[in-house]
């Protein structure tokens, strides 16, 4: 089975739209501020995607464009200003930042209740303690898809390739919170295949095209390919899709798999943040 991330995302967006309508009836308009420092073309594209996704569901989104050479103090002051604004319920800061700015400091300045990327240490800490609040959107999308497909996480062997703060680490915590047995592999892992072949659920977020071949996958596994790689004029994932689709129970395509799910989780999380801040849970 091919996991249709676009179709699942449309369903999440429909639910999000109706949650927004309920808030609007009470005079509350959820608002997102997306901060972009400088003019990195990939970041510009991601920010554009976020604004158009917000427009699709009727979320108000504001573009906060800051110059490449902005002082750290000015960036932090801008974040604090957004923290104070009652009409802004979610704040996203596009990474990477220019080299002279400390991303950790900036992330820590975002008010935890507005941190819809789920990167603030308070939200990460809550996640690790099993009290998930706002969590990173890609792992949230993968968990949503597994639950939607009726895949039991309790007792499942889950293998994650990639240990980034954005995908691998928070996903491992979310899976542990649901009682899966979790292994996290990375670039220093020896004999990757010995690990990946154990996974009833295999999530790959390495950014290496074709890293996972058919003989590295357990027959019947659920495979989530998070990778987004440009190869020539094509966008491909980290999994050899054509070969792996024949032995997996289910697999996400690239594009059209984890990407749209991630965006839909971002929208849903802005609404959750709004509901929490306005007491309309």
Candidate residues 10, 164, 183, 277; the one interacting with ligand NAD per rule CB under 6 A = 164
Residue 142 in contact with ligand NAD, rule: CB under 6 A: no
Element containing residue 73 per DSSP (H, E): helix 72-84
Contact 222, 200 (CB under 8 A): yes
Shortest distance, CB of residue 86 to ligand NAD, whole angstroms?
A: 30
Of the candidate spans 42-50, 117-125, 149-157, 201-209, the one that interacts with ligand NAD by CB under 6 A turns out to be 201-209
Q: Which of 70, 76, 176, 192 binds ligand NAD (CB under 6 A)?
A: 192
Q: How far apart are CA 263 and CA 281, in angstroms?
A: 22
Name the segment binding ligand NAD (CB under 6 A); options: 9-17, 94-102, 122-130, 184-192: 184-192
Give dist(CA 190, CA 192) in Å, integer. Answer: 6
State which residue, 108 or 192, has the beta carbon closest to ligand NAD. 192
Q: Which is nearer to ligand NAD, 106 or 266 (CB)?
A: 266
Ramachandran category for residue 210: left, alpha or beta (phi over 0 → left; psi -120 to 50 → alpha): left
Residue appearing with tokens 């993968």: 142
Q: What value, to the nearest 5°, has the Cα angle with vertex 270 and ends 265 and 272?
A: 90
Instruction: Return all residues near 92 (Cβ < 8 A) that are at least 6 apart.
Output: 32, 33, 34, 35, 50, 116, 117, 266
- Whether the bond into 270 is cis, omega within 30 of 0: no
Does residue 229 belong to the site contacting ligand NAD (CB under 6 A)? yes
Shortest Å distance, C-beta 189 to ligand NAD: 6
Scanning 17-25, 72-80, 146-154, 157-165 for contacts with ligand NAD by CB under 6 A, the matching segment is: 157-165
Q: Enter the tokens of residue 68.
A: 């490449």
Judged by CB under 6 A, which of 39, 187, 230, 280 binds ligand NAD? 187
Please report how close the Cβ of residue 85 comes to ligand NAD at its closest, in angstroms.
28
Q: Give the binding site for ligand NAD (CB under 6 A).
A: 138, 161-164, 166-168, 185-187, 189, 192, 205-208, 211, 226-229, 258-259, 262
């Amino acid at each position: 089975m091919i996991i249709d991330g676009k179709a699942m995302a449309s369903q999440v967006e429909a639910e999000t739209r109706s949650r927004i309508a309920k808030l609007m009836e009470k005079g509350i308009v959820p608002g997102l501020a997306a901060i972009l420092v400088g003019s990195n073309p990939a970041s510009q594209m991601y920010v554009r995607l976020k604004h158009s996704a917000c427009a699709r569901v009727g979320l108000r989104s504001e573009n906060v464009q800051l110059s490449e050479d902005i002082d750290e103090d000015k960036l932090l002051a801008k974040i604090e200003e957004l923290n104070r604004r009652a009409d802004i319920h979610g704040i996203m800061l596009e990474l990477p930042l220019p080299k002279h700015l400390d991303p950790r400091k900036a992330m820590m300045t975002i008010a935890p209740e507005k941190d819809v990327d789920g990167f603030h240490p308070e939200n990460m800490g809550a996640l690790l303690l099993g009290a998930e609040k706002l969590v990173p959107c890609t792992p949230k999308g993968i968990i949503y898809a597994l639950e939607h497909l009726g895949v039991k996480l309790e007792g499942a062997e889950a293998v994650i390739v990639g240990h980034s703060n954005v995908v691998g680490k928070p996903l491992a915590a979310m899976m542990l919170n649901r009682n899966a047995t979790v292994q996290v592999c990375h670039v220093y892992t020896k004999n990757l295949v010995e690990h990946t072949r154990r996974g009833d659920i295999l999530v790959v977020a390495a950014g290496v095209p074709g890293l996972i071949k058919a003989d590295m996958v357990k027959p019947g596994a659920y495979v989530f390919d998070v990778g987004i790689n440009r190869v020539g004029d094509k966008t491909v994932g980290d999994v050899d899709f054509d070969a792996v689709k024949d032995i997996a129970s289910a697999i996400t395509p690239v594009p059209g798999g984890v990407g749209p799910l991630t965006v839909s989780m971002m929208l849903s999380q802005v609404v959750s943040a709004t509901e929490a801040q306005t007491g309309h849970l």
